[in-house]
């Protein structure tokens, strides 16, 4: 029987694309880099995604993700690469200031509250996640928050989930479920850990034969019917 619900944050409960766009545009203003076109924002997102996927595969470190993505992006368009480190810190801070719930996210969390113990399980940076969780009021809903940067392991690694099991105090895998939008991070991680998985797929993307899941939903309120 499910007792513990692990929630991904960015892209699942919160609208990450909106927060990301607001944060990077604010940083462009802060550092006098001019206007950021939609085309260049799209290029940055592709670069960013490439770095995070490499981190999930264990090919690079977290700092290589956070700074490397901006360094590559800056080099491509001739921006000053000497500000990359400071730019990244400002970006994390700005990410933590924008929090918009995805449709039915808060309502679903509220309805599950008291019936299950709910936790955040995220690969996002500590600065950004702690800011948005507090600002959005999620810190009052979650029993605990598991941030990979603090744990020292990333989703989908087994070690990330072992840390959660030890902290929660139960290694009974049948008592856990993870809900997330990433097949390669949330779902693969849950499968690696041996727990139930719910893939949040609001855009109805094609299934990936390499990343199986137990349930699929395109609206978070459907989680209520599953649990």
Q: Is 8 a catalytic residue?
A: yes
Per-residue pLDDT tens digits for 124-149: 889 999 999 999 999 999 999 999 99
What is d(CA 17, CA 15) in angstroms, rounded to the nearest whole number? 6
What pLDDT is recorded for position 207? 83
pLDDT of residue 41: 97
Rounded (10°) CA dihedral 133, 136, 140, 141: -90
Stretch (H or E) spanning 17? helix 16-30
Beta bridge partners of 10: 14
User: What is the structure's pLDDT at 143?
Assistant: 97
pLDDT of residue 138: 93
Catalytic residue among 8, 10, 181, 186: 8
Distance CA 97, CA 118 (A): 23
Which residues, given as ranges, of the chain have pLDDT below 70? none
> What is the pLDDT at residue 209?
77
The alpha carbon of residue 139 and the mean position of all alpha carbons in its chain are separated, in whole angstroms, by 16
Of 181, 188, 175, which is closest to residue 202 (Cα–Cα)? 181
- What is the reported pLDDT for 186? 97
Straight-line distance from the first to the last Cα atom of the chain, in angstroms, rounded to the nearest whole number: 9
| pTM of the complete model | 0.92
């Amino acid at each position: 029987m499910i007792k513990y619900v692990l929630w991904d944050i960015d892209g699942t409960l919160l609208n990450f694309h909106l927060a990301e766009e607001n944060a990077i545009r604010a940083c462009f203003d802060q550092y006098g880099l001019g206007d950021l076109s939609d085309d260049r924002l799209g290029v940055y997102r592709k670069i960013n995604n490439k770095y995070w996927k490499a981190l999930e595969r264990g090919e690079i470190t977290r700092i290589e993700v956070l700074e490397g993505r901006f360094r590559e992006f800056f080099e491509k368009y001739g921006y000053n690469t000497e500000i990359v480190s400071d730019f990244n810190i400002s970006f994390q801070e700005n990410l933590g200031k924008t929090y918009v719930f995805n449709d039915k996210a808060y309502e679903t969390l509220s309805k599950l509250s008291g019936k299950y113990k709910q936790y955040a399980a995220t690969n996002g940076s500590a600065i950004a996640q702690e800011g948005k969780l507090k600002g959005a009021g999620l810190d009052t809903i979650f029993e605990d928050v598991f941030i990979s940067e603090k744990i020292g392991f990333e989703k989908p690694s087994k070690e990330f989930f072992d840390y959660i099991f030890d902290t929660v105090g139960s290694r009974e895998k049948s008592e856990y479920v993870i809900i997330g939008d990433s097949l390669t991070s949330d779902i693969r991680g849950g499968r690696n850990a041996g727990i139930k998985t719910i893939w949040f797929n609001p855009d109805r993307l094609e299934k990936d034969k390499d990343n199986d899941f137990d349930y699929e939903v395109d609206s978070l309120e459907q989680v209520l019917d599953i649990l």
